[in-house]
Amino acid sequence: MRMNWFEWRYASLDDRAHCRRTIRQGSRSFYAASMILPSDLRNPAYAVYAFCRMADDNIDQGGSQSDAIARLKQRLDAVYRHAPLDHPCDRALTDVVLRFDLPRALFDALLEGLEWDDTGLSYETIEDLEAYAARVASAVGAIMTCLMGRRAPATLARACDLGVAMQLTNIARDVGEDARAGRVYLPHAWLREAGIDPADLIADPKMSPALAAVIGRVLDHADLLYRRSAAGIADLPALCRPAINAARRLYAGIGDEIAANGHDSVNLRAVVPTRRKIFIALSSAVEAVFLDARAEDPSLAATRFLVEAVANHAAKGGIGTAVDSRTEWVILLFQRLEERDRLRDAETGAA
């Protein structure tokens, strides 16, 4: 998992510092949680999250969102050609993609989620909402799991559960903010069952017992996925478990605050108090030692494509795991190149 200074081919020390600042300024919660990660993983994680943050910011800057998404696809194309554009995030991500052999499909899923936001898709069922969360959240969780050297389908499935749960928590927290921006992410079928027209919620965002019940229902679904995700955390490297378990517990804590506010996410924004964050982080580190990796739950239908993308990447010649030393990395790389040479020679001989 080690990534020494000489293994960064494209990103300079300044580039890596830029990614770190981007996360510290734009995502304080993740930056704080990253301090618990092993030091070797922090810069790779910053590179991934800085690129994702840049993608979000580019979409939010106004102008044509479809043009912004097209430019992001071009930048990702350049990253995977190992010819990054002249930007710290692009150079750093190129190094991480190379070093950890990250499947392109995971980043494509993230950009697809941005496209869904651009086109203003609505989500009729909880399964539809899971499909959205898979793209904007679980894709990043799958990438992080690959960074930690774990690609087993069961572990990836649980990482994707955690991503969906976190996104559902975000949605439950931001109901009023989203409605005032003209969006309703809550499952429309659940709203109508509660006697709420989604269009009315946008036109006049106001709290009601019926809306509180829908928000509570979303949080109950998230809680189920938080519990399922624990088995995946138990399969991570020991030094990574405290940080990821802290993130799981902290996001679940946001749901607890929403419930304590009477599920009022229109007039109030749930925030976990600092003292409780500290307690959760400390208790999560202890709990991480005792988590059980045994689980029989299948992947969510909405996230199965992410799990399969990692397996298919390995089947097509991907190295398939983060290795623990530079020597092993070089050996695997030369093995891969030799296999390609043999295939090319065989094709030439057959011609």
User: Given this model, what pLDDT does residue 62 score?
Assistant: 59
Q: Confirm if 301 and 138 have CB atoms less than 8 A apart.
A: no
> Could you please report the per-residue DSSP string of 290-317?
T------PPPPTTTHHHHHHHHHHHHTT
Confidence of residue 297 (pLDDT cuts 50, 70, 90): confident
Q: What is the mean pLDDT of residues 63-90?
A: 90
Rounded-to-integer distance, Cα 164 and Cα 139, Å: 10
From residue 38, give the alpha-carbon distance in Å to each of 45, 63, 239, 242, 245.
11, 39, 6, 10, 14
Share of the chain above pLDDT 70, in %: 86
Q: Which of 306, 312, 243 is nearest to 110 (CA)?
A: 306
Tell me the domains of the chain and their CATH numbers: 12-100 (no CATH), 121-320 (1.10.600.10)
Mean residue pLDDT across the chain: 87
**Higher per-residue pLDDT: 62 or 140:** 140
Greatest alpha-carbon span in the chain: 73
Confidence of residue 312 (pLDDT cuts 50, 70, 90): very high
Q: Where in 106-199 does DSSP place strands (E)?
A: none
**Higher per-residue pLDDT: 260 or 26:** 260
Rounded-to-integer distance, Cα 289 and Cα 277, Å: 19
User: Given this model, what pLDDT does residue 128 score?
Assistant: 98
User: Given this model, what pLDDT does residue 166 score?
Assistant: 95
pLDDT tens for each residue of 212-246: 999 999 999 999 999 999 999 999 999 999 989 99
Would you say residue 323 has pLDDT above 60? no
Rounded-to-integer distance, Cα 324 and Cα 318, Å: 17
Would you say residue 31 has pLDDT above 60? yes
Average the pLDDT over each of 62-71, 83-92, 194-203, 299-308 and give the range with the smallest value. 62-71
- Please name the residue that has the structure tokens 């580019």: 58
End-to-end alpha-carbon separation of the chain, Å?
41
Residue type, 33: A
Q: What is the mean pLDDT of residues 250-257?
A: 94
Total residue count of the chain as it appears in this document: 351
Average the pLDDT over each of 19-28, 123-132, 178-187, 227-236 and give the range with the smallest value. 19-28
